[in-house]
Structure 1
Amino acid sequence: MGSWKAYRFPVIMLAAIIIGSIAGFIWGEDAMAVQPLGDLFLNMMFTIVVPLVFFSIASAVAVMDSVKRLGRILGSMMIVFIVTGIISSCLMLAAVIAFPPAENVSVNEEQPAQQEEQGSFADQLVETFTVSDFIDIFSTENMLALIVFAMLVGVATGLSGEAGKPFASFLQSGSEVFMKIVALVLYYAPIGLGAYFAALVGEYGPQLIGEYAKAVAVYYPVAILYFVFGFSFYAWIAGGKQGFSRFWKNIFAPAVTSLGTASSVASLPVNLNAARNAGVPKDIRETILPIGATIHMDGSCLSAILKIAFVFGVFQMEFTGLDTYLTAIGIALLSGMVMSGVPGGGFIGEIMIVTLYGLPIEALPIITAIGIVVDPPATTVNVAGDNVSSMLVARFLEGRNWMNVHF
């Protein structure tokens, strides 16, 4: 019953997508009559994303003032999170280059707009991370600038001390309110996604479904390989043979819990206990694991690269070149860091992918279907990644003998 409660919503959405796809296959182009129901869902999601990202990031940064004394821990944590995120992204990048998803289907939607004139690199950098007018910050076209602004608001709120606490409460309240709005909109998601896929399959045929199976067949082996070999390597760096042994001795409970709940946050108590049993110091594990449950997503980085490569294939865009690969890795890290630790939070990362690449909004349900079917192993990789990251930070801060001192 607990597993059904955790997976009820993804199962319902997946069932809706399957039913919609079958309807599209049976009725053909006549199924396009229900596309407005899908467009309604997309429009609502894109309306919510700007205030949601602002309040979520600003409130998260604002409350970090309480852990300033743990500056070294936070600094080491961010280095570990970024490095492991890059490694996981590169692993999936190699997989999608070797086995390109969605190479046999084309969706003739509007292509991302290309700038006719490119300014200097400095000008492009300024335009990417800033806007010239305050009103422009609240637009999906300027998502990176919005993130920078939200982080500045959060930092300023934290540095304001007592005077900033009421505003910090406002930011936290805003984050909760907009997450609740997302939850309300998601009640309509099965109808919206089912309708959209009915129209999609009705127009482009069942070959699109085969490409989804291929994408899933790429993700699961890569996720398993990263879990087994990647985390074993990290544990060995953290504590040699002893670190390897302790990681595998204690990781089973968090892995099973995350697989059964589909939530990094729900797995947090079990993960904290596993880190304690592995000997990770209290201040390190109690700082890194709660933060990691929302901003450290190795499994989500894996799925983000897959989603990007898939949507490039669907829209017949070239997924080649060093600049394209580096951009994909950057977006995977960014989308992973704004994902919530609750089931369904992957929607936000998917919206980030669509908006940062300037894709048409029709790309959202196409990659959402991938997120639904890869969410269980992605969550397990996320949780185990938080655990081994706490071991790595303990190694960097406490020295090579940390396991003997703190066990």
Structure 2
Amino acid sequence: MKKISLTHQILFALIFGIIFGVIANAFFPLPFNNEVSKWVLVPLGKMFINGIKMLVVPLVLCSLICGAASIGDIRKLGRVGGKIFVFYLATTAAAVSLALILANLIDPGIGTSLAAMGKEFKAVQAPFVMDIFTNMIPTNPIESLVKGDMLQIIFFAIIFGIAMTMLGEKTKPLFNTINQINEVLLKIIGLIMVTAPIGVFALISNVIMFQGIAVLLPLIKYALTIVLGLIVQVVFVYGIFLRVLGKVNPIYFFKKFWPVMTVAFSTSSSNATIPINLEVCEKKLGVPKPIASFTIPFGATVNMDGTAIMQGVATIFLAQLYGVNLNFQSMLMIILTATLASIGTAGVPGAGMVMLSMVLLQVGIPVEGIPIILSIDRILDMMRTVVNVTGDAVGTVIVANSEKELNLIAYNNEIESEAAM
């Protein structure tokens, strides 16, 4: 029998995990589910997540340094950086706009009771928008690495790589050393990804086992509006961008990018997908390593299209619940605030709720409404993470092709390669 590829193993694990979670939620007693979760699912899921997260900080640091340094030309680095940053901001603004249009058409808050089940939410003071930019510059890079402050790590790594480029041949031995460390980290990722089917099964089944499908019912219109927005963003917005701006076939992209989507769905973490995202972009989609090493870690922190869609829909939903009328100026404020907020949204589960409070405060909607949507946010968080990481790769492919460096032979090759995993 032909060996099942890792891509299909992950997909099967996702499907079986959902099925097992639904069955356990519907038929197994709660004490049994608690024991299975405590002794099996949670440990397996945490081991897989921790294995990936173990490499995120050193991989982002080394990848960005190598990416910035290996581009070689400061002007080219500025050109690539400018293109990808504009792309990320544009798609985020488009995502918020799409969310507002759909939410105003569907009216998810009309007919929904404020008594819908929710969880306790302690409002956190949203950061001043300019603090996001000033805090990007680390006072102590070592402390930033220890804390995992991704924006500060990105800033330091890019500056470090630029300085290496400016020094030229003097830094060649240092570049080779960092590049070799990066290769070792990628090899470790390959070893960890062998366990991905087990980790994906444990993570998704544990969520479904306790959340169940019934959790969606009280807020079904809200959930469906977000899901519709996410689907339109991925299939149509990204598909059109790949075809028109990237001049490539979007079907090939989605066929090869599926494993990354699966890991993003099960982990709910943009940062956790950085390793496999880099692997797929470089080895399956034909993106040169210097560009992917620069754009993927950068996008995992600043590009949050899925989170922006949630913020747009949630804002309209809560405005309708509380009877707050939003005029055209308020809509523009939502787009601007949500776009800027996405830059400061860390690529970890649940961080979008803190940034949502920033958007709500800007348009006068009570943040006390956030607990209403928290009951189903765990499931929706999984879905919007898929959009977040897909946007990173779409932008990477488009920028690479605009620089005439995309390997079109590799991109158009339909043969799956297990080495790419």
Bin of the TM-score, shorter chain as denominator length: 0.5 to 0.7
**Is the CA contact 1:311–1:367 (under 8 Å) kept in the aligned structure 2?**
no
Provide the TM-score with structure 2 as the length reference.
0.58
Matches within 5 A, 1:209-228: 212-228=219-235
Query: Which residue in 2 is equivalent to 1:339?
Result: 345
Of residues 281, 285, 295, the one that matches 2:288 is 281
Alignment of 1:265 onto 2:271: yes
Query: Which residue in 1 is equivalent to 2:34?
Result: none
Tell me which amino acid in the other structure corresponds to 1:278: L
Tell me which amino acid in the other structure corresponds to 1:168: P
Query: Which residue in 2 is equivalent to 1:314?
Result: 321
Tell me which amino acid in the other structure corresponds to 1:323: Q
Partner Cα separation in structure 2 for residue 266 and residue 175 of structure 1: 12
Query: Which residue in 2 is equivalent to 1:232?
Result: 239
**Residues 175 and 350 of structure 1, relative CA distance in 2, 3 Å threshold:** farther
**Residues 361 and 142 of structure 1, relative CA distance in 2, 3 Å threshold:** closer
Gaps of 5+ in 2: 1-9, 31-59, 116-122, 150-214, 412-421
Query: Which residue in 2 is equivalent to 1:74?
Result: 81
Query: Which residue in 1 is equivalent to 2:119?
Result: none
Tell me which amino acid in the other structure corresponds to 2:281: A
Query: Which residue in 1 is equivalent to 2:43?
Result: none
Shift of 1:236: 0.9
Query: Which residue in 2 is equivalent to 1:168?
Result: 141
Alignment of 1:91 onto 2:98: yes
Partner Cα separation in structure 1 for residue 141 and residue 409 of structure 2: 38
Query: Which residue in 1 is equivalent to 2:329?
Result: 323
Matches within 5 A, 1:135-150: 143-144=127-128, 147-150=129-132
Shift of 1:282: 1.2
**Residues 221 and 107 of structure 1, relative CA distance in 2, 3 Å threshold:** closer
Q: For residue 317 of structure 1, give the secondary structure of its aligned residue in structure 2.
A: coil
Of residues 133, 143, 148, the one that matches 1:151 is 133
Q: For residue 102 of structure 1, give the secondary structure of its aligned residue in structure 2.
A: coil
Alignment of 1:378 onto 2:384: yes
Alignment of 1:303 onto 2:310: yes
Shift of 1:172: 5.3
Query: Which residue in 2 is equivalent to 1:185?
Result: none
Partner Cα separation in structure 2 for residue 73 and residue 394 of structure 1: 8
Partner Cα separation in structure 1 for residue 380 and residue 236 of structure 2: 19
Query: Which residue in 2 is equivalent to 1:250?
Result: 256
Shift of 1:271: 1.4
Per-residue displacement from partner, 1:361-389 (whole Å, max 9, x unpaired)? 41231343353331121111111111111
Partner Cα separation in structure 2 for residue 358 and residue 3 of structure 1: 40
Per-residue displacement from partner, 1:189-233 (whole Å, max 9, x unpaired)? xxxxxxxxxxxxxxxxxxx98661111121222222222222211
**Residues 373 and 140 of structure 1, relative CA distance in 2, 3 Å threshold:** closer
Tell me which amino acid in the other structure corresponds to 1:254: V
**Is the CA contact 2:124–2:354 (under 8 Å) kept in the aligned structure 1?**
no
Partner Cα separation in structure 2 for residue 344 and residue 243 of structure 1: 33
Shift of 1:239: 3.7
**Is the CA contact 1:307–1:370 (under 8 Å) kept in the aligned structure 2?**
no
Per-residue displacement from partner, 1:1-42 (whole Å, max 9, x unpaired)? 9979x99xxx9xx9xxxx9xxxxxxxxxxxxxxxxxxxxxxx
Per-residue displacement from partner, 1:37-72 (whole Å, max 9, x unpaired)? xxxxxxxxxxxxxxxxxxxxxxx9xx9999494322
Shift of 1:173: 5.1
Provide the TM-score with structure 1 as the length reference.
0.59
Shift of 1:149: 3.4
Tell me which amino acid in the other structure corresponds to 1:261: T
Of 294-303 and 266-275, more deviation after overlay is shown by 266-275
Partner Cα separation in structure 2 for residue 140 and residue 80 of structure 1: 30
**Is the CA contact 2:300–2:389 (under 8 Å) kept in the aligned structure 1?**
yes
**Residues 84 and 150 of structure 1, relative CA distance in 2, 3 Å threshold:** closer
Per-residue displacement from partner, 1:216-257 (whole Å, max 9, x unpaired)? 1212222222222222112112443x4424313311111122
Tell me which amino acid in the other structure corresponds to 2:97: C
Shift of 1:174: 6.0
Shift of 1:403: 3.7
**Residues 170 and 258 of structure 1, relative CA distance in 2, 3 Å threshold:** closer
State the identity %.
23
**Is the CA contact 2:103–2:316 (under 8 Å) kept in the aligned structure 1?**
yes
| Number of equivalenced pairs | 283
**Residues 142 and 250 of structure 1, relative CA distance in 2, 3 Å threshold:** closer
| C-alpha RMSD of the superposition | 3.9
**Residues 282 and 406 of structure 1, relative CA distance in 2, 3 Å threshold:** farther
Partner Cα separation in structure 2 for residue 229 and residue 302 of structure 1: 15
Alignment of 1:394 onto 2:386: no
Query: Which residue in 2 is equivalent to 1:100?
Result: 107
